[in-house]
Amino acid sequence: MLGVSGRAVGDGLVAGTHDPAVLAEGRLRAKLPALGEALEGRVRAQHAPLLGELLGHLDDLAEAIDRLRNQVARVVAPSRRCWPW
């Protein structure tokens, strides 16, 4: 779920798409039989809201990481100018 293809599958499932041929994009297309098998009978409509919440939480965490990374960069920037290396 953290990669581009996995996220696209997750977003598609949340949107109600369960057809592996529609969900498979890019390199995932080569794994279409495995994707179909993985989805067979496992992902139901009632799972979509939970999956949507989990994907939203991943987005929130990614944003928090970016904010913290920027904060660290701002804090260390003044001392980096003093280092000779």
**Identity of the residue numbered 23:** L
Write the DSSP string, 8-67.
HHHHHHHTT---HHHH--GGGGGGHHHHHHHHTTT--TTHHHHHHHHHHHHHHHHHHHHH
Residue 30 has pLDDT above 80, yes or no: yes
Q: For 1-29, what is each residue's pLDDT tens digit?
A: 778 888 988 999 999 988 888 888 777 88
Residue 26 is part of which domain span?
Answer: 4-80
pTM above 0.95, yes or no: no
The predicted structure's pLDDT at residue 25: 78
In a domain, 85, yes or no: no
In a domain, 12, yes or no: yes
How far is 47 from 80, CA to CA, in rounded Å? 48
Instruction: Give the total number of structural domains in the chain.
Output: 1
